[in-house]
Every structure is written in structure tokens, then in C-alpha cells.
Chains A and B, each alone.
Chain A
Amino acid sequence: SQTIHQWPATLVQPVGSPLSLECTVEGTSNPNLYWYRQAAGRGLQLLFYSIGIDQISSEVPQNLSASRPQDRQFILSSKKLLLSDSGFYLCAWSATGTSEAFFGQGTRLTVV
């Protein structure tokens, strides 16, 4: 069966520090991968979308970047965190040709 792993679950980082959140999918190949952010009390905001290795679309301009070095690995990064980067980050995958997205458990990021 397919599983998605996202870590860490919680993270507290100082302003100006770098960020690296990792997401891996098991049990499937060539998944579509997504990074979302959810600010407190707000809805999901799509950050990045990837249909394959090194094929990444950015949905909104921001202080973040994404990479997909392997088929089932998706990494969200920042060189210098801002206070406004605080939020709940979700990784998700969907199989090519299907429409259901499966989400990781999320990372609660607090920038202080």
C-alpha cells in the first residue's frame, strides 16, 4: 500500500535561519507531489506542484523553494525564514490519472 511520510511534525526556527522539510512517498511511482501551507484559521494555499523529477511549478511568489531530487522525494526549503513563514505545511501526492490527493500529517512551523 502507498504511504506518505512528512517530517518533522513540529519545528521552531529563528528568523533568518534556513529551512528544510522533507516528504517521501512509498508504494507508488511517478506521483504528482504538492506542498501546501495553511495559516492559522485559514484555508490551504498551494505552494508547489510537481509532475516529475526536477519538474516543479510555483503557484505563488514567496520566500520558499522546492526540489524533487528523486521520484518520490519532495523537499521544501528556505534560505532565510521570515516570521510570515509560520504555518502548517502539508505535503500531498496523487497518482497520475487519478484525482484523489493523499496528505501527510503536516509540519507545524513556528518562526520566532
Chain B
Amino acid sequence: KNQVEQSPQSLIILEGKNCTLQCNYTVSPFSNLRWYKQDTGRGPVSLTIMTFSENTKSNGRYTATLDADTKQSSLHITASQLSDSASYICVVSRYGNKLVFGAGTILRVKS
């Protein structure tokens, strides 16, 4: 069954600290993987996209990794800011363009 599982479900960290969010998937055939950020009460917005051949990709303080062999991805946030508080959603695309969404990790950054 095509599934995307994210952990932890929620996370609270202090401002300035780093954190890592995990995404495991069983989607096949795999096309690519995206991480989205969803601010409260808004629609998700894409942060990064990882294709099969990419291992690491950075977008500012966000760094995504992908291990296509173990079907795992992570999103690392460096020097967290209050504005990083949001839900982070992992989305895997199958060939044929159907998207499979994870349930998301709710991150709260405290001052």
C-alpha cells in the first residue's frame, strides 16, 4: 500500500535550536518527494523537491535529505525562528502523478 509516515507527530523546541523531521514512505513507483510548510489556517507551500538521484538539497535554513534505498527523507531546520512554527508535510509523487501526503509534523518554536 502506498503510504507516507512522518515523525514525530508534534515537536516543541526553543528558538535558536536545530531540529530534524522524518518521513518514511512505501510509495512505488517513486517519482519525487516534496516537503511543504503549512502556516496555521493557510494552505501548504512547497519548500523543497527531491528526485531519485538527489541526496541533499538546501533552501536557506532548511536542508532536506533523501535515501531512496531505505525510502527515508528528513528535513533539518537550523537555528530555528519563531516563524518556523508550522506544520511540515512530506508528499511523495508516484509516476502517473498521484500525490501521497503524510499527516505532517506540527512544529512549535518557543522563545
Residues of A participating in the B interface, judged by any CB pair closer than 8 Å: 32, 34, 36, 41-46, 49, 88, 90, 92, 94, 96-106, 108
Q: Of the listed stretches B13-21, B39-47, B61-69, B78-86, name the one at the interface; the rest are far from the partner chain.
A: B39-47
Q: Chain A residues with Cβ under 8 A from B75's Cβ? A: none
Q: Which residues of B are in contact with A by a Cβ distance under 8 Å?
A: 6, 10, 31-32, 34, 36, 41-46, 49, 87, 89, 91, 93, 97-99, 101-104, 106
Chain B residues contacting A104 (CB-CB under 8 Å) are 43
Complex Cα distance A98/B46, Å? 13
- The chain B residue with its CB closest to the CB of A104 is B43
Query: Which A residues are in CB contact (< 8 Å) with B104?
Result: 43-44
The complex places the Cα of A101 from the Cα of B43 at a distance, in Å, of: 10
User: Are the C-beta atoms of A105 and B43 separated by less than 8 Å?
Assistant: yes
Give the residue among A44, A92, A96 with the most B Cβ atoms within 10 A.
Answer: A44
Partner of B6, one of A43, A45, A46: A43
Contact across chains for A100 and B46 when beta carbons are under 8 A apart: yes
Taking the closest CB of chain A, its distance from the CB of B9, in whole angstroms, is 8
Q: Are A99 and B89 in touch, CB under 8 angstroms? A: no
A100 x B43 contact (CB < 8 A)? no
Q: Which of B43, B101, B102 has the most CB of A within 10 A?
A: B43
Contact B42 A41 (CB under 8 A): no
A4 to chain B, nearest CB (A): 8
Q: Are B93 and A99 in contact (CB under 8 A)?
A: yes
A43 to B101, CA, bound (A): 9
Contact of B91 among A90, A98, A101 (CB under 8 A): A101
B residues less than 8 Å from A44 (CB atoms): 44, 89, 101-104
Residues on A with C-beta less than 8 A from B98 are: 32, 49
Q: How far is the CA of A42 from the CA of B105 in the complex (A)?
A: 9
- Residues of A within 8 Å of B41, CB to CB, are 88, 106, 108
